[in-house]
Amino acid sequence: MSTTTAAPAQTHCPYCALQCGMALTPAGEPHAAPDGRAPLPVTVSPRDFPTNAGGLCQKGWTSASVLTVPDRVTTPLLRGDDGELAPASWDDALDVVAAGVRRVQAAHGPDGVAVFGGGGLTNEKAYALGKFARTVLRTSLIDYNGRFCMSSAAAAGNRAFGADRGMPFPLTDLGGAQAVLLLGSNPAETMPPFVQHLAGAREAGGLVVVDPRRSATARLADDGQGIHVQPVPGTDMVVLLALTHVVVAEGLVDRAFADERTAGHDDVVRSVSAWWPERAETVCGVPAETLRRVARRLAAASPARGGRGAYVLTGRGVEQSAQGTATVTAAINLALLLGLVGRPGSGYGCLTGQGNGQGGREHGQKSDQLPGYRKIDDPAARAHVAAVWGVEESTIPGPGLPAVALLGALGTPGGPQALFVHGSNVLVSAPNADLVRERLAALDLLVVCDFVPSETALMADVVLPVTQWAEEEGTMTSLEGRVIRRRQAVAAPGQARSELWILAELARRLGSDVAFPTEPAVVFDELARASRGGIADYSGLSHARLDAHEEAGGTGLYWPCPAPGTDGAEHPGTPRMFLDGFPTPDGRARLVPVDHAGPTDDVRGDAPTYLVTGRVLQHYQSGAQTRRVPELDRLVPEPYVEIHPFLGLRVGVADGDRVRVTSARGAVEAVARWTDVVRPEVVFMPFHWSGPGSVNRITSDAVDPISSMPEFKVCAVRVEPVTTTPPQAAEPRPDTKEVPA
C-alpha cells in the first residue's frame, strides 16, 4: 500500500557556514534507520545550490540521524536534591530559572547573570538572545562562541575595510581565479564541497596552501597543481611579511590601486623591509626561493598584470592566535598592495566556520555590538535600537566581557554567578577547558538550552529542550554574507520548544514589558528594522521576500540590502562589496603595518614540541552532534595524536602507543599515529572529544589584544609515552582519507 509524503522542505545543512543546499522529505511511513535505530523522520537529498552544486559531505548526508539520537532531550530537566537531573514541567523549570535570576541579581546586580550564545543559532534567535540579555536581564555580559571562530578576521576587516563580511564576494567567484592563497584552513575536510571552487586555481597551478601539516587540502596543492608552504607553527605572519617584501622589492605593487584606493602604503612598505626571504626562512622554515615563487605567482595572477584574478583567504589556523588580528592584517595588506580587493574576480576573504557565525555576530551576541553590526557604545546606534525595542537608551548596558574573560570570571567575587548557555558546548570547545569546568561548577545557577545532553548541559542546574534545524523556521547567513531560509520539515519531539518561545516566557515571568514575538518571520522583521542603516543592513529583507526570491529561481540575497528608497524599488542586495569604495571616512582601505611576535606559549626546554589542533572530516566542533551519529563515530571513534616517526623514536612513542601530551595547563592522553604529514617538531590533535583526550583542556587561553580570540592553534608541549614500552621502527602511517577532486 503506497503512502504520500509531504513536499520536500528546501533548506540547508545544519553544520558549517558553507550552508549547503539540501531538501528534506518527510518520511511517508516509518522506515528503519541504519543499525536498527529509530526511524529517520526525513530523507536528506542535496540541492543544486551555488555553494555545494549538488554535493554534500559525510556530515550533511547523515544529518537526519541527529534528529533521532537516543538521548535527545525532549523534556525540561531540573537537578534535584540528589544531584541528578530529572524531568520536569515547563512551568516548574521556567519558574526555577526566573527565581534564580531574581535571587542572583538581587544580590549581585544585573551583571550577576551572563549569557553565552552560539554561532549555530538562526539570525532570529541570535537577535532575540541579545535583546533578552540587554532589555530583560539588563546585563552587559553576553558573548558567544563565534569569538572563537573569526573574531580576528572581523577585527582586521573592520580596521582595513570599515566592514566585516567573511567573504565580500560570492564563493563561485573563486572558480575563475588563476591563483588562490589559502592560509590556515583545511576545507577538504572541514567543508569538502568548497574544494570544487578551487579547481580553476589548481588547473592553473596557482593553488597555494599554507599549513604546518600536509593536510588533505595541502595535498591538493602538493601534487603538481600548486605549492604547499609548510611553516613552523605560529609563523604564518612571517610568511606573509616575506611575500609582501618580495612584492614591494620586485616592483609588483599595483601602484595605481594603492594610490587611488588605499591609505598607509608607505608605512607598510617600511615595515616589511626587514623581512627579506632569507631572514624569513630562518624563522618560518620556508625556503626563501619558495617564498619568492609564491609572491610572483600571486602577482602574475593579479588584474594589474593581466592575470585572471587572485584571492587571499584566511581561516582559523592563522586567526586563532594571540597575533591573529595582526596576521590577518598582513594578509589584507598583501591583497591590497596587489590590487586584489574591490575588483571583480579578485579579493580577500575569511572562511567562516560555524553555520551562522556571520549572522550570529551581526545582530547582538557579541559583547560590544548591537543589531546591524552597530557598536554598542555609539550613541546614535543605541538610540536607534532602543527605539525599535521600545526602551530608554540609558537602560541598554555598555560593552561587556569577551568570551575567554567572561568564562574566566564565572563564579568569582564580583563576577557573574548565573549563566545561560545557548547553542554552545564550552566544556569541550573553550581553551583551557579544565579551568572552564571549575568556573561553571562555582556558579549558583547554570541554565543550558540544547537538544542533546552535551558535556556542558550535564553540568547544568536546568536543561531546556530546544528545536533543531529541521524542526524550525528562520534564516541563516552564509560565509558569503548570503541570507538564506531555514525551513521546517518535521515537528519537534516531546516538549522541545524554540528559544524564541523560551525567551518570551522568561521575559514575562521576570516582569518585562518588552515585546518578544515568537513567530520567526515577525522576529526577522524587527531585526530588519533594528539593522536599518547599520553596516549589516537587512532592512530590505523579509521571510516573504526571501521565499519569493527563491520561488523565482533565486538563491538568497546578500547584505547590505537596505529598505526601498523614495522610489520604492527593492534593493537587489550586494553580492560584491567594495567595488565602488570602502565604508571608511575617506572611502579608502587602510594598510596597517604589523610585525611578528610569535606564540605566547612558545617551545622551551621542558616543552620542546609544538601542538597544533584542528578538525577531521567526520566530526564538527565539540562533536556533541556528530559523535552521536554511528556512521561518523565508527569512522573516527576517538581522539589521536599525529606524531612524526623521527619524534616518535626520539621520545619513545611507537605507532599505536598511548601518548601523553603535557602543556603548562595540564595533560591529555590519546593513541599515537605515526605519520609524515606533520613536521618533526610538531604534533597534531583534533578537538572534537571530551574526556582524557580532550585537547582543549591543554590549549592556551592567551588572547589577541584586539579581537580577544584565544590562541587555540599553537602551544608548547612535552610528549611522552604513557607506558615505558620501547618504540618499534615503523613506516609512517599512510593517510587513508579520500581527497575530494
Segment 260-279, tens digit of pLDDT: 999 999 999 999 999 999 99
pLDDT of residue 149: 85
130 and 164 part of one domain: no
Cα–Cα distance measured from residue 59 to residue 627, given in angstroms and rounded to the nearest whole number: 11
**Are 589 and 263 within 8 A, CB to CB?**
yes
Task: Identify the band that residue 589 occupies on the pLDDT scale cut at 50, 70 and 90.
Answer: very high
State which of 68, 85, 110 marks the end of a domain. 68
Give the CATH number, domain containing residue 50: 2.20.25.90
306 and 288 part of one domain: yes
Segment 416-448, tens digit of pLDDT: 999 999 999 999 999 999 999 999 999 999 999
Asked if residue 2 has pLDDT above 60, the reply is no
Asked if residue 113 has pLDDT above 50, the reply is yes
Report residue 42: phi and psi, to 5°: -140, 160
Burial of residue 563 (CB within 10 Å: 0-12, 13-18, 19+) is middle
Sign of CA dihedral 239, 245, 251, 253: positive
* HSE, side-chain direction, 13 A CA sphere, residue 225: 16
Segment 313-335, tens digit of pLDDT: 999 999 999 999 999 999 999 99
Cell numbers describing residue 465: 529542550
Cα–Cα distance measured from residue 664 to residue 605, given in angstroms and rounded to the nearest whole number: 12
Cell numbers describing residue 246: 618580495
In a domain, 669, yes or no: yes
Give the CATH number, domain containing residue 628: 2.40.40.20
Cα–Cα distance measured from residue 703 to residue 214, given in angstroms and rounded to the nearest whole number: 27
Give the strand pairing for 715-721 and 658-663.
antiparallel
* pLDDT-above-70 percentage for the chain: 95
* HSE, side-chain direction, 13 A CA sphere, residue 418: 26
In a domain, 592, yes or no: no
Burial of residue 82 (CB within 10 Å: 0-12, 13-18, 19+) is exposed
pLDDT of residue 622: 92
Cα–Cα distance measured from residue 218 to residue 1, given in angstroms and rounded to the nearest whole number: 52
User: Which distant-in-sequence residues (6+ apart) come within 8 Å of 720 by Cβ?
Assistant: 651, 652, 653, 659, 660, 662
pLDDT of residue 739: 31
**Are 370 and 382 within 8 A, CB to CB?**
yes
pLDDT of residue 726: 39
In a domain, 579, yes or no: no
322 and 419 part of one domain: no
- The amino acid occupying position 424 is S
Cα–Cα distance measured from residue 90 to residue 92, given in angstroms and rounded to the nearest whole number: 5
Measured between alpha carbons, how far is residue 525 from residues 532, 535, 555, 639 in Å? 11, 17, 20, 44
Cα–Cα distance measured from residue 509 to residue 46, given in angstroms and rounded to the nearest whole number: 43
In a domain, 678, yes or no: yes
Cell numbers describing residue 44: 536528506
Task: Identify the band that residue 731 occupies on the pLDDT scale cut at 50, 70 and 90.
Answer: very low
Cα–Cα distance measured from residue 643 to residue 448, given in angstroms and rounded to the nearest whole number: 37
pLDDT of residue 360: 87
* HSE, side-chain direction, 13 A CA sphere, residue 38: 13
User: Into how many domains does the chain fold?
Assistant: 4
Pick the closest to residue 644 from 738, 721, 737, 731 (CA basis): 731
* HSE, side-chain direction, 13 A CA sphere, residue 739: 13
Cα–Cα distance measured from residue 635 to residue 61, given in angstroms and rounded to the nearest whole number: 14
Q: Is 370 helix (H, G, I), strand (E, B) or coil?
A: strand
Longest dimension (CA), the chain: 79
In a domain, 734, yes or no: no
Cis preceding linkage at 344, omega within 30: no
In a domain, 710, yes or no: yes
pLDDT of residue 701: 96
Task: Identify the band that residue 7 occupies on the pLDDT scale cut at 50, 70 and 90.
Answer: confident
Cα–Cα distance measured from residue 261 to residue 527, given in angstroms and rounded to the nearest whole number: 33
**Which DSSP category does 377 fall into?**
T
When the pLDDT of each residue in the chain is averaged and rounded to a whole number, the result is 94
In a domain, 376, yes or no: yes
413 and 460 part of one domain: yes
Cα–Cα distance measured from residue 118 to residue 79, given in angstroms and rounded to the nearest whole number: 24
Beta strands in 644-725 (DSSP E): 658-663, 666-674, 682-686, 715-721
Burial of residue 658 (CB within 10 Å: 0-12, 13-18, 19+) is middle
In order, the DSSP letters of 569-606 are PPP---SS-STT--SSTTS-EEP--------SS--BTT
370 and 338 part of one domain: no
319 and 399 part of one domain: no
The secondary structure of the chain in percent helix, strand, coil, rounded to multiples of 5, reads 35, 20, 45
Give the CATH number, domain containing residue 492: 3.40.50.740
Cα–Cα distance measured from residue 116 to residue 144, given in angstroms and rounded to the nearest whole number: 5
Query: Higher model confidence: residue 358 or residue 284?
Result: 284
Where is average pLDDT lowest: 213-217, 336-340, 566-570, 700-704?
566-570
Cα–Cα distance measured from residue 732 to residue 20, given in angstroms and rounded to the nearest whole number: 35
The DSSP element (H or E) to which 435 belongs, if any, is helix 433-441
Cα–Cα distance measured from residue 12 to residue 591, given in angstroms and rounded to the nearest whole number: 37
384 and 528 part of one domain: yes
Domain coverage including residue 658 = 609-721
Cα–Cα distance measured from residue 518 to residue 263, given in angstroms and rounded to the nearest whole number: 46
**Are 456 and 427 within 8 A, CB to CB?**
yes
- 213 - beta bridge partners? 678
Q: DSSP alpha helices (H): ranges in 216-323? A: 216-221, 236-249, 255-261, 265-272, 277-284, 288-301, 316-319
Asked if residue 467 has pLDDT above 80, the reply is yes
Section 69-84 average pLDDT: 96
Segment 546-582, tens digit of pLDDT: 999 999 999 999 999 999 988 889 999 999 999 999 9
Pick the closest to residue 250 from 282, 296, 206 (CA basis): 296
**Are 510 and 101 within 8 A, CB to CB?**
yes
**Are 35 and 62 within 8 A, CB to CB?**
no
pLDDT of residue 1: 39
435 and 334 part of one domain: no
Cell numbers describing residue 163: 566592514
Asked if residue 142 has pLDDT above 50, the reply is yes
* pLDDT-above-90 percentage for the chain: 91
Cα–Cα distance measured from residue 443 to residue 66, given in angstroms and rounded to the nearest whole number: 30
State which of 328, 350, 372 marks the end of a domain. 350
State which of 350, 379, 395 marks the end of a domain. 350
Section 52-78 average pLDDT: 96
**552 torsion bin: left (phi>0), alpha (psi -120 to 50), beta (else):** alpha
* HSE, side-chain direction, 13 A CA sphere, residue 564: 7
166 and 217 part of one domain: yes
Cell numbers describing residue 88: 520536569
Cα–Cα distance measured from residue 396 to residue 130, given in angstroms and rounded to the nearest whole number: 11
pLDDT of residue 737: 33
In a domain, 591, yes or no: no
393 and 293 part of one domain: no
Cα–Cα distance measured from residue 444 to residue 677, given in angstroms and rounded to the nearest whole number: 46
199 and 335 part of one domain: yes
pLDDT of residue 35: 61
Cell numbers describing residue 501: 518561545
Task: Identify the band that residue 225 occupies on the pLDDT scale cut at 50, 70 and 90.
Answer: confident
Report residue 239: phi and psi, to 5°: -60, -45
Give the CATH number, domain containing residue 261: 3.40.228.10
Neighbouring C-beta atoms of residue 289, cutoff 10 Å: 11
Q: Is 109 helix (H, G, I), strand (E, B) or coil?
A: coil
Q: Is 713 helix (H, G, I), strand (E, B) or coil?
A: coil
544 and 633 part of one domain: no
pLDDT of residue 37: 67
Segment 590-599, tens digit of pLDDT: 999 999 999 9
pLDDT of residue 36: 63
Section 338-357 average pLDDT: 93
Query: Cell 542533546 maps to which residue?
Result: 452
